[in-house]
Amino acid sequence: MVRSIRVGAAQLGPISRDAERSEVVNRLVALMRQASDEGCQLVVFPELALTTFFPRWYLDDVPEELDSYYETEMPGPETQPLFDEAKTLGIGFYLGYAELTPEKTRYNSAVLVEADGSIVGHYRKVHMPGHEEHEPDRPFQHLERRYFKEGPDGFDVWEAFNGVIGMGLCNDRRWPETYRVMGLQGVELILIGYNTPLHYAPDPSQNPLQSFHNQLVMQAGAYQNGTWVIGVAKGGVEEGVDSLAESMIIAPSGQIVAQAETTGDELIVADCDLDWCKHYKETLFDFDRYRRPEMYKLITESKTDQ
């Protein structure tokens, strides 16, 4: 049996602060229909795909607005149409969203949904970037560390779509451990949505390197673990903040096989042969044969070598 899955990376352009959820869900449904028309079995949406990137504002003074960006159930009444459409079309999807649990804990989350509309995987962002306190001197905030708790569950993988699927969210893609922990579980397809402002306030010398770093980390993660990586942006100028687009599909060889050309809503598609992973997993990156975990203890024993 050929284990090839046609995947659509459904990049989004900006979502305005006052956008209704239904308006955004309609955009997602349109991209999902296009993906289905192009024969995709799985469509991947960005991080926080249902709303504007709200951690760019200090919102403690407007708690109703803050709460309005979170989902208290998935699917809920406003996201149900997306699940219904997926089931009708027989297509799976990955969706990033802000989660507010019944215990009032806030996570930056993603779900993996099978072609029958059932949730097979749930992921909570592990690497939480940005800052905790209001920093008014910045041109815009990055308060993810205020408005989300770090995910406590680590990096799972799920058997779905005839393969082994893993998930990450945005900043996770910069960390080799993200890919390696999933690689050690045999991952074949890693799905990562992102919101990456082109301006990085703590060190603007990195601004012109955003595109390079995006490719560098995802191509390395794919190659070094013999896995497909699907990186999907919410790009373009959203509420005055310009964010990287350049969504891409990367093969286990580390080669980019599809890349978005615009900064708006755009679908890119690739046939992902999951057996291609074996070329790397069973040769150069045969983990059982060549890895030396006893040499890597510092990685898990401490945050630094002190």
**Catalytic residue numbers?**
47, 125, 170
* Cβ distance to ligand CDV smaller for residue 124 or 142: 142
- Determine the length of the chain: 306
Distance from the first to the final alpha carbon of the chain: 51
Tell me the H-state helices in 93-209: 144-147, 176-183
- For the record, the structure tokens of 98 come out as 């802000």
Q: Is 174 in the site for ligand CDV (CB under 6 A)?
A: yes
Q: Is 168 in the site for ligand CDV (CB under 6 A)?
A: no
Q: Is 281 in the site for ligand CDV (CB under 6 A)?
A: no
**Cβ atoms of 16 and 238 closer than 8 Å:** yes
**What are the φ/ψ torsions at residue 301 (nearest 5 degrees)?**
-80, -25
**Cβ atoms of 246 and 213 closer than 8 Å:** no
Rounded to 10 degrees, the C-alpha dihedral 219/221/226/227 comes to -80
Rounded CA gap, 297 and 71, in Å?
39
Q: Is 124 in the site for ligand CDV (CB under 6 A)?
A: no
Rounded CA gap, 99 and 107, in Å?
5
Q: Is 129 in the site for ligand CDV (CB under 6 A)?
A: yes
* Cβ distance to ligand CDV smaller for residue 11 or 196: 196
* Cβ distance to ligand CDV smaller for residue 194 or 285: 194
For the bound state, the minimum distance from the C-beta of residue 185 to ligand CDV, rounded and expressed in Å, comes to 23
Binding ligand CDV by CB under 6 A: which of 51, 195, 219, 247? 195
Q: Is 194 in the site for ligand CDV (CB under 6 A)?
A: yes
* Cβ distance to ligand CDV smaller for residue 216 or 298: 216
User: Residue 231 carries which side chain, given as an amino acid letter?
Assistant: G
Query: Among residue numbers 209 through 248, which ones bind ligand CDV (CB under 6 A)?
Result: none
For the window 15-54, what string marks contact with ligand CDV as x by the rule CB under 6 A?
--------------------------------x-------
Q: Is 130 in the site for ligand CDV (CB under 6 A)?
A: yes
Q: Is 96 in the site for ligand CDV (CB under 6 A)?
A: no
Buried b (16+ CB within 10 A) or exposed e, 209-223: ebeeebbebbbebbb
For the bound state, the minimum distance from the C-beta of residue 130 to ligand CDV, rounded and expressed in Å, comes to 5
Q: Is 186 in the site for ligand CDV (CB under 6 A)?
A: no
Rounded CA gap, 107 and 33, in Å?
29
For the bound state, the minimum distance from the C-beta of residue 214 to ligand CDV, rounded and expressed in Å, comes to 8
Task: List beta partners, residue 191.
Answer: 167, 230
Site residues (vs ligand CDV, CB under 6 A): 47, 129-130, 142, 170-171, 174, 194-196, 200
